[in-house]
Amino acid sequence: MDPQVIDLSRIQFAATALYHFLFVPLTLGLSFMLVIMESVYVMTNRPIWRVVTRFWGRIFAINFVLGVATGLTMEFQFGTNWSYFSHYVGDIFGAPLAIEGLMAFFLEATFVGIMFFGWNRLSKLGHLIVTFLVALGTNLSALWILIANGWMQNPVGATFNPDTMRMEVSDFGQVLFNPIAQAKFVHTVSAGYVCASVVVLGISAYYLLKGKWVAVARRSMTVAAAFGLASSLSVVVLGDESGYALTDNQKMKLAAIEAAWHTAPAPSGLTLFGMPDTTARTTRYKVEIPWVLGLIATRSLDKTVAGMSELVLKAHDRIESGQVAYRAVETLKNDPNNQTARAAFAMHGRDLGYAMLLKRYVADPAAATPQQIDQAAWDTVPNVPLMFWGFRVMAAIGFLMIALFATAFMLCSLRMHLNAKWFLKLAVLAIPLPWIAIELGWLVAEIGRQPWAIEGVLPTFLATSTLSRGALWTTLIGFTLLYGTLAVIEVRLILATIRHGPYEHDDDPQPLPGPIPAEPVTA
Amino acid sequence: MFDYEILRLIWWVLLGVLLIGFALTDGFDLGVTALLPFAARTDAERRMVINSVGPAWEGNQVWFILGGGAIFAAWPFVYAVSFSGFYLAMFVVLAALILRPVGFKYRSKKPDAAWRSRWDWALFVGGFVPALVFGVAVGNVLQGAPFRIDSDLRSWYEGSFFGLFTPFALLCGLLSLAMLVVHGAAWLAIKLEHGAVHDRARRFGTWAALAALALFALGGLYVAFGDIGYRMVGAADPIGPSNPLRTTTEQVGGGWLTNYGRYPWMLIAPALGFASSALALVGIRAGREWAAFAGSSAGALGIIATVGLSMFPYILPSSIDPHSSLTVWNASSSAHTLAIMVVVTVVFLPIVLAYTAWAYKVMFGRVTTEEVRTNPDFY
């Protein structure tokens, strides 16, 4: 494999995925906020809520379209740039993608047309149901994509078949109910809800600061405050928590996030700050909070959290076991009926992927030297500083979001949100934060999985297509130009839409009430 | 439930269903946007054309996405080999298809004439390029693609981007373009109020239908007398493991006609292709719009089914190493995955068809200039 082809393929995937993921979280969250706004319209029958819904609907449309357009690239990129991956795990990995199309994407895409074009052709309740189905579809899409991704992190319910030289499904139920996939789903969609809440909050705050469209803005802000508070709590509290300590790779990811080079005696402390040094394999200037990591990662005070060195030793053993499996597969290629090889494979098959890590250094993994095995074992450690800092910035933004929405919720409840200028300014400044956290979250999850494309099964450097550098440069430059242009156009259009404001300019039917009355209101 | 052989056959049929579903639904969107700059001249006319597919194209496009997903799930080998092999062609199609959603949504967001005209051309590219390249791809599949598979079952592709555009492949590309333009013109005839655009659409539709008939006949002649075609050596093993290296294939001129000798009922497909395209031609001339649309739909079905049936059991033959050829019997997912996906399809496809029909019913009726002018939700 040409190392440049591998790097270019990875850069291309990362660039197109990170770009796609600028739009998806907003779609996930805004679709449900539209449902909430439109429900209020249907229940109260006040036209102002129709104006609110349609205004945010337009922002949704501009954003949605790029989410869909860039999703096309993602769907086909597995085949175009990662064709060996596609062959190797298509039996399992393809199914959630196909089900996503059939069950979720059809739903959202068919009804999104009716959602925009059907305002005058459907009853109020009919239109609300359509809006709800769009939101349901987008969120189901996320579920299936994360089931696929969760399987890459924790490949359960599948075994290698030497007759077809690929992984095949043994238990689809395990693939569906993969705990890592479920945890990721909750975490990711909540992050999307936070993102949309911040956008609605920030734009509404901008209007309130300018004194424009106050009727729309103050209502939108109330919705954003409530929805944002619930989702920012969910994103942090439910978080990725349940996924961590299940597999070797997730343990490695956790150790890298903590920059824990060695297993510390229980209960482990949570490293708040430090400087990971990858050459000396140590972390300098550590500031620790005692016990907390043990509580989070093992739910106990007496179990240890594995450090990287110890996990590398484990990988070392698995590579040696994998060499036996590799030799067995080579025998079975020429002699499918060789019973000794079948038996050897049955014993060591689950470590086959570890032997393939050696392919970076030697064509025939069975003939690797001890140094090469050692090198390959250390390859299982991902990029520690990136994991360490990426996670910390992401988590810090998560806590900031809780503070932001708790404040917003309080101000809205006390009906003080129109006058708290300092808060409105903060809300505008907060707009970029969820995106930073979300993109870092993707990097931590996916770079934390390296060197594996599928954890313990297929190394990333073997997963590519057999393409030339020229072809990869062509598409990389092409995507960069196309995506760059579209990003500029999209941002300008969203800004223009914000400046233009809602297209029906209803007066506020109900001027802002005064301070909350001392006596409870009775009907 | 079913045995492996039946499951593989079901998924081969479903692959056809998806491709035909794509051609029948998203096909008219592609045809309509390929006609956009020519059939509609003024801004009001163009907005009418765009809004004739406005509410529907997004759902229609899912047939394409689902096609990709289903090939990945049911024919992972085909997905891996073809998408990486036709790498730059895939990129060109993707870039064109990315322009399309953006064009629809962004075009009318600004009153600026230059802005709108640029997006109109972007929409044209988004319709014309995929319609052409899909046909070129089918032509290459019929001729065999230059790939081989090594003992790890990794595929190596040895062709180039410009090598894809052989005369036969271009012929297939033009056929696909003509077929989808007829379909798009028939859709416009149904969806637009009577007037200048309606008349122009019918005129382009007529020419495209004539071209489709001629190109389909020419393609048939090339398949019969050119030197393309493959044949399996020895008996196939319909329940064997999905490993192409365990089957043997040879290249043989005229090989794509063997199936018609063996199973004469298969001639229904090309007959349907010709008869229905002729119906589309007559219907569009006579102003029988629904007959024209039925004709263009059944024509696309017949033409695509002809390709599939001629090649059976091949899905993607290899021109440089016939032994690497992918067939219905050696390139599928495991029986377990195929069975799960059949269940999912049986449950969800009818639901999808039901709500798609409902969506079309909600938006039933002709697009008028008046409606385009007054409705803020239109593109």
Q: Which of A312, A305, A249, A308 is nearest to A281 (CA)?
A: A308
The answer to whether the Cβ–Cβ distance between A83 and B352 falls below 8 Å is: no
Q: Is residue A380 part of a domain?
A: no
Best mutation target, B152, B191, B342, to test chain A (most A CBs within 10 A)? B152
What chain A residue is nearest to B98 in terms of C-alpha separation?
A69
Q: Is residue A522 part of a domain?
A: no
CA of A488: how far to CAs of A336, A364, A380, A474, in Å?
Answer: 57, 49, 39, 21
The answer to whether the Cβ–Cβ distance between B97 and A100 falls below 8 Å is: no
Which residues share a beta bridge with A506?
none
Q: Cα distance from B211 to chain A (closest Cα, Å)?
A: 31
Element (H, E) at A376: helix A370-378
Q: Is residue A333 part of a domain?
A: no
The answer to whether the Cβ–Cβ distance between A475 and B57 falls below 8 Å is: no
Mean pLDDT of B33-54: 92
ipTM value, please give it: 0.91
Q: Is residue A278 part of a domain?
A: no
pLDDT value of position B325: 92
B320-376: per-residue pLDDT in tens? 998 899 999 999 999 999 999 999 999 999 999 999 999 999 989 888 888 888 887
Domain hosting residue A480, numbered range: 3-160+173-252+385-500
A288, burial (CB in 10 Å: exposed 0-12, middle 13-18, buried 19+): middle
pLDDT value of position A299: 64
What is A76-106 written as a DSSP string?
HHHHHH-HHHHHHHHHHHHHHHHHIIIIIIH
What is the phi/psi pair of residue B324, to 5°?
Answer: -85, 0
Q: Cα distance from B343 to chain A (closest Cα, Å)?
A: 11
What chain A residue is nearest to B90 in terms of C-alpha separation?
A80
Q: Distance (Å, rounded) from C-alpha B139 to C-alpha B127?
A: 19
Chain centroid offset of residue A497 CA: 28
pLDDT value of position A523: 46
Element (H, E) at A453: strand A452-454
Q: Cα distance from A451 to chain B (closest Cα, Å)?
A: 20
Residue in B106, B156, B341 closest to A466 by CB: B156
Planar angle of CA B361, B364, B368, nearest 5 degrees: 165
Chain A neighbors of B330, CB-CB under 8 A: none
3-state secondary structure of A284: strand
pLDDT value of position A323: 92
Q: Is residue A264 part of a domain?
A: no
Residue in A68, A81, A166 closest to B101 by CB: A68
Rg over CA atoms, chain A? 26
pLDDT tens for the 523 residues of chain A, in order: 688 899 999 999 999 999 999 999 999 999 999 999 999 999 999 989 999 999 999 999 999 999 999 999 999 999 999 999 999 999 999 999 999 999 999 999 999 999 999 888 999 999 999 999 999 999 999 999 999 999 999 899 999 998 899 999 999 999 999 888 888 899 999 999 999 999 999 999 999 999 889 889 999 999 999 999 999 999 888 766 655 555 666 788 888 888 888 887 767 777 777 777 777 777 777 777 766 666 666 666 677 778 888 899 999 999 999 999 999 999 988 888 888 889 889 899 899 999 999 999 988 988 889 999 988 999 999 999 999 899 889 989 999 999 999 999 989 888 887 888 899 999 999 999 999 999 999 999 999 898 999 999 999 999 999 988 999 999 999 999 999 999 999 999 999 989 988 876 655 555 555 555 555 555 4
Q: Distance (Å, rounded) from C-alpha A41 to C-alpha A47?
A: 7
Provide CB contacts within 8 A for B253, sequence distance 6+: B226, B227, B228, B229
Best mutation target, B82, B94, B134, B157, to test chain A (most A CBs within 10 A)? B94
Q: Distance (Å, rounded) from C-alpha A386 to C-alpha A382?
A: 9
B82-133: per-residue pLDDT in tens? 999 999 999 999 999 999 999 998 888 888 889 999 999 999 999 999 999 9
Across A192-248, the runs of DSSP E, i.e. the strands, are none
Q: Which of A501, A449, A477, A513 is nearest to A153 (CA)?
A: A449
Q: Tell me if B307 sits within 8 A of B220, measured CB to CB.
A: no
What chain B residue is nearest to A116 in terms of C-alpha separation?
B377
Q: Cα distance from B257 to chain A (closest Cα, Å)?
A: 31
Query: Quick one: residue A156, left, alpha or beta (phi over 0 = left, psi -120 to 50 = alpha)?
Result: beta
Q: Cα distance from B218 to chain A (closest Cα, Å)?
A: 32
Best mutation target, B29, B50, B79, to test chain A (most A CBs within 10 A)? B79
pLDDT value of position A104: 94
The answer to whether the Cβ–Cβ distance between A109 and B102 falls below 8 Å is: no
How many domains does chain A divide into? 1
Q: What is the helix, strand, coil percentage profile of chain A, to 5? A: 70, 5, 20
Q: Cα distance from A365 to chain B (closest Cα, Å)?
A: 14
Q: Tell me if B336 sits within 8 A of A463, measured CB to CB.
A: no
Q: Distance (Å, rounded) from C-alpha A393 to C-alpha B137?
A: 46
Chain A neighbors of B348, CB-CB under 8 A: 99, 102-103
The answer to whether the Cβ–Cβ distance between A90 and B76 falls below 8 Å is: yes
**Using 50, 70 and 90 to split pLDDT, how confident is the model at B203?**
very high
Q: Is residue A516 part of a domain?
A: no
Chain B neighbors of A466, CB-CB under 8 A: 84, 154-157
Q: What is the pTM of this model?
A: 0.91
Q: Chains A and B: how many Cβ contacts under 8 Å?
A: 240
Q: Distance (Å, rounded) from C-alpha A276 to C-alpha A381?
A: 13
Mean pLDDT of B31-43: 93
Q: Distance (Å, rounded) from C-alpha B255 to C-alpha B25?
A: 32
The answer to whether the Cβ–Cβ distance between B153 and A165 falls below 8 Å is: yes
Rg over CA atoms, chain B? 21
What chain A residue is nearest to B109 in terms of C-alpha separation?
A493
pLDDT value of position A507: 56
Provide CB contacts within 8 A for B56, sequence distance 6+: A113, B25, B29, B359, B360, B363
Give the amino acid at B207. Answer: W
To the nearest whole percent, how much of chain B has pLDDT over 70?
Answer: 100
Chain A neighbors of B84, CB-CB under 8 A: 79-81, 83, 465-467
Residue in A97, A119, A168 closest to B334 by CB: A168
Angle between helices B43-53 and B167-191 in degrees, nearest 10: 100
